[in-house]
């Protein structure tokens, strides 16, 4: 019995090229949307982690009288007998107090996607491993060299991300405009978290009225009695 041979016409070169062009065009249209969605997801993760930091900061203040600074570091060491150290002057060092005081249960809450970060490994039994370089994405805003507390203006920012790459830029309050699509995630003393617009030219976060995040003065949340200083995290 003869079998019927089924044949089909293959793609011509022209048809194949047309298909390639269509696929490339569709990829070009969807790629920006995918990138925006990824940046939004990174921003959402930073917002959620900032809220967790805020809860930990409140609990820390209840036990030590203020948010972390050099004075509370001595108290944490005395109270807990921890071998972790807090010297170094970067946000990692101050946030490490929250871990030593057994208030922050994981390194993951200090992570925010940035050019200077890596995913935390949740190994924190030594000073070299606890919130090591690159495992913290947030800058810490202090009053000069001392910490703010809830006794001041509740609208004052205390934590922010993603900062610009260098320590000098971070101290100036400049942000990475590309990481979260021109947004800065900011935690305030009252534990509210906002996503502020960042100008692409100055890389400064805008707080309204033409003011920037660290701009002080009588008509700002800082008033005339505070010296807001951004303490940068240690980069990877």
- Extents of the domains making up the chain: 13-231
Please tell me which residue, 83 or 13, carries the higher pLDDT value: 83
> Contact 228/214 with Cβ under 8 angstroms?
yes
In the chain, the largest separation of any two C-alpha atoms, in whole Å, equals 100
pLDDT at residue 9 greater than cutoff 60: no
pTM exceeding the 0.75 threshold for the entire prediction: yes
Report residue 228's pLDDT band, with 50, 70 and 90 as the boundaries.
Answer: very high
> Contact 170/163 with Cβ under 8 angstroms?
yes
What value does the mean pLDDT take over residues 200-219?
90
What value does the mean pLDDT take over residues 129-136?
93
Q: Where does the chain show beta strands of DSSP type E?
A: 139-143, 157-161, 183-188, 193-197, 206-208, 211-212, 228-231
Q: What is the pLDDT of residue 169?
A: 63
Q: Worst-scoring range by mean pLDDT, 1-5, 11-15, 95-99?
A: 1-5
> Contact 225/127 with Cβ under 8 angstroms?
no
Q: What is the pLDDT of residue 172?
A: 80
Report residue 3's pLDDT band, with 50, 70 and 90 as the boundaries.
Answer: low
Q: What is the pLDDT of residue 8?
A: 53
pLDDT at residue 191 greater than cutoff 90: yes
Per DSSP, the chain holds a count of helices (H) and strands (E) of 4, 7
Closest CA to 44 of 189, 161, 136: 161
| Token pair for 92 | 């990692």
Report residue 95's pLDDT band, with 50, 70 and 90 as the boundaries.
Answer: very high
What value does the mean pLDDT take over residues 56-75?
95
């Amino acid at each position: 019995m003869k079998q019927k041979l089924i044949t089909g016409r293959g793609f011509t070169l022209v048809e194949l090229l047309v298909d390639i062009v269509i696929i490339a065009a569709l990829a070009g249209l969807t790629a920006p949307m995918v990138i925006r969605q990824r940046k939004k997801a990174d921003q959402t993760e930073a917002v959620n982690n900032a809220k967790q930091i805020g809860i930990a900061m409140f609990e820390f203040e209840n036990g030590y009288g203020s948010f972390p600074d050099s004075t509370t570091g001595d108290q944490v060491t005395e109270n807990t007998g921890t071998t972790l150290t807090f010297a170094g002057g970067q946000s990692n060092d101050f946030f490490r107090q929250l871990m030593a005081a057994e208030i922050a249960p994981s390194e993951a809450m200090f992570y925010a996607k940035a050019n200077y970060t890596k995913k935390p490994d949740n190994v924190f039994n030594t000073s070299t491993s606890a919130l090591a370089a690159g495992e913290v994405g947030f800058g810490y805003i202090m009053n000069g060299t001392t910490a703010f507390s809830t006794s001041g203006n509740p609208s004052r920012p205390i934590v922010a991300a993603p900062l610009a790459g260098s320590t000098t830029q971070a101290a100036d309050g400049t942000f990475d405009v590309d990481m979260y699509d021109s947004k800065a995630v900011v935690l305030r003393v009252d534990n509210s978290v906002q996503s502020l617009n960042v100008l692409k030219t100055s890389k400064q976060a805008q707080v309204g009225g033409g003011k920037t995040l660290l701009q002080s003065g009588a008509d700002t949340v800082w008033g005339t009695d505070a010296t807001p200083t951004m303490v940068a995290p240690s980069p990877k």
